[in-house]
């Protein structure tokens, strides 16, 4: 049981990025249908008239995608962009009025925001546990070594009051939208 808890702690430190789906109304005259998105985001085109259309990447586009020519009000085509770059595309039927560019940018700030540099001080601690990181602090949970949660909540400041904890060994799990980091500390 204890081993399982430690294993979970280790895996819970892996980060997860937020992903977004962007919608484009795909109809004659929709061009230029341009968007700037983050790597990992999805663009979803929805056919908003009854005419046949396609969503087709053009030569030179960073990624290749093609819905084929399909028709039907409400038809959807989605593509998840995984590479930083520029993607020119068009409708192969109405290339003069249905076209656009999807610009895909590297996700900024994750490296600085993933809590990888989170540090605690002092450790051992008696009253106030300070949290030092270049990332954004959003919430925390404190667990005993047997996995019992004894404290936690939103983090609006870069410290946690631990004077109420009994003496012993604890883990603090600090989270933000990009992930979680868990560090052991000693309360004395």
Residues that bind Cu ion in the complex, under the rule CB under 5 A: 53, 91, 93-94, 98
**Closest CB to Cu ion among residues 33, 137:** 33
Give min distance, CB of 52 to Cu ion, in A: 7
Nearer to Cu ion, 93 or 155 (CB): 93
Least separation in angstroms between residue 94's CB and Cu ion is 3
Nearest-approach distance from CB 58 to Cu ion, in angstroms: 14
Nearer to Cu ion, 100 or 135 (CB): 100
Closer CB to Cu ion, 48 or 141, in the complex:
48
Q: Tell me the Ramachandran region of residue 168: left when phi exceeds 0, alpha when psi lies from -120 to 50, beta otherwise.
A: left
Q: Provide, rounded to whole angstroms, the least separation between the CB of residue 104 and Cu ion.
A: 23
């Amino acid at each position: 049981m204890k081993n399982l808890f430690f294993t979970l702690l280790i895996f819970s430190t892996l980060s997860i990025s937020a992903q977004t789906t962007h919608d484009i109304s795909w109809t004659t005259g929709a061009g230029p249908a341009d968007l700037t998105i983050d790597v990992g985001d999805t663009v979803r085109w929805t056919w908003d008239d009854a005419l046949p259309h396609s969503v087709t990447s053009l030569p030179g586009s960073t990624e290749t995608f093609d819905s084929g020519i399909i028709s039907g009000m409400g038809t959807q085509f989605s593509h998840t962009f995984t590479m930083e770059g520029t993607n020119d595309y068009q409708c192969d039927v109405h290339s003069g009025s249905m076209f656009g560019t999807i610009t895909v940018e590297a996700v900024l700030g994750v490296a600085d925001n993933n809590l990888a540099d989170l540090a605690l001080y002092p450790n051992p601690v008696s009253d106030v546990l300070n949290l030092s990181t270049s990332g954004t602090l959003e919430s925390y949970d404190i667990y005993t070594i047997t996995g019992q949660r004894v404290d936690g909540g939103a983090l609006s400041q870069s410290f946690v009051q631990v004077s109420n904890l009994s003496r012993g060994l604890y883990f603090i799990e600090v989270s933000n939208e990009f992930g979680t980091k868990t560090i052991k500390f000693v309360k004395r």
